Amino acid sequence: MAAPCIDRETTSEIVRQFGAKPEMLVQILQAIVMRYGWVPEETIRQLADEVNLSRADVFGVVTYYHDFRTEPPGEHIVKICQAEACQAMGSRALTDHARESLGAALHETSEDITLEPVYCLGNCACAPAVMIDGKTHGRVNQARFDKLVGAMKESR
Ligand code: FES
């Protein structure tokens, strides 16, 4: 599935909603990512002009936050928690398994599935936790991961 396009007018409209101020940049980027899933280079340049920052400033903020992608995401997004409670329950081994089975490193997309790290899904009591297309799953071992991913692929 092709990533949605971001037109200049919509970007300007989002900037107007928050106010064209440098201190609103994170909120503006969040709104853009919520709507489009990523922030292309031309949008970074436009935002720099509109909030009066350099392109490097905006790019620095985009790359600082894990959720601000500069590449379009896949149709499906799989997030594996890397925070302490999940690490203690095997999320690193689960991540290695996911990388191998999906054929994508963290922050990469393969076969329209994007693999992302996440730092606590608020599901620590059921670690390790995974989020697939916005739905959280707890106590995910490798077999359960494969089953969840299989169901996700079948839902296409
Ligand atoms: S540490 Fe993984 S859900 Fe909280």
Q: Per-residue pLDDT tens for 65-108? A: 888 989 899 999 999 999 999 999 999 999 999 999 999 999 89
The pLDDT score that the predictor gives to residue 19 is 96
- Closest by CA to 30, choosing from 55, 50, 47, is 47
Instruction: Give the position of tokens 């925070």.
Output: 83
Rounded Cα gap, residues 77 and 132, in angstroms: 6
Categorize the per-residue pLDDT at 3 as very low, low, confident or very high, splitting at 50, 70 and 90. Answer: low
Joined together, the tokens standing for residue 53 give 């920052």
What is the per-residue pLDDT across 14-63, written as a single tens digit (0 to 9) for each? 999 999 999 999 999 999 998 988 999 999 999 999 999 999 999 999 99
Residue type at 80 in one-letter notation: I
The CA 61 to ligand 1 mean position distance, Å, reads 25
- Please work out whether the CB of residue 129 comes within 6 Å of at least one atom of ligand 1: yes
CATH architecture of 8-64: Orthogonal Bundle (1.10)
The pLDDT score that the predictor gives to residue 23 is 97
Q: Is 118 exposed, middle or buried (0-12, 13-18, 19+ CB in 10 A)?
A: buried
- Please work out whether the CB of residue 85 comes within 6 Å of at least one atom of ligand 1: yes
DSSP 2: P
Categorize the per-residue pLDDT at 6 as very low, low, confident or very high, splitting at 50, 70 and 90. Answer: confident
- Please work out whether the CB of residue 81 comes within 6 Å of at least one atom of ligand 1: yes
The pLDDT score that the predictor gives to residue 4 is 64
Categorize the per-residue pLDDT at 13 as very low, low, confident or very high, splitting at 50, 70 and 90. Answer: very high
The CA 137 to ligand 1 mean position distance, Å, reads 11
**Contact at 8 Å (CB) between 102 and 78?**
yes
Rounded Cα gap, residues 127 and 138, in angstroms: 6
Rounded Cα gap, residues 110 and 108, in angstroms: 7
**Domain segments of the chain as ranges:** 8-64, 76-154
Phi, psi of 16 (to 5 degrees): -65, -35
- Please work out whether the CB of residue 86 comes within 6 Å of at least one atom of ligand 1: yes
CATH code assigned to 76-154: 3.40.30.10
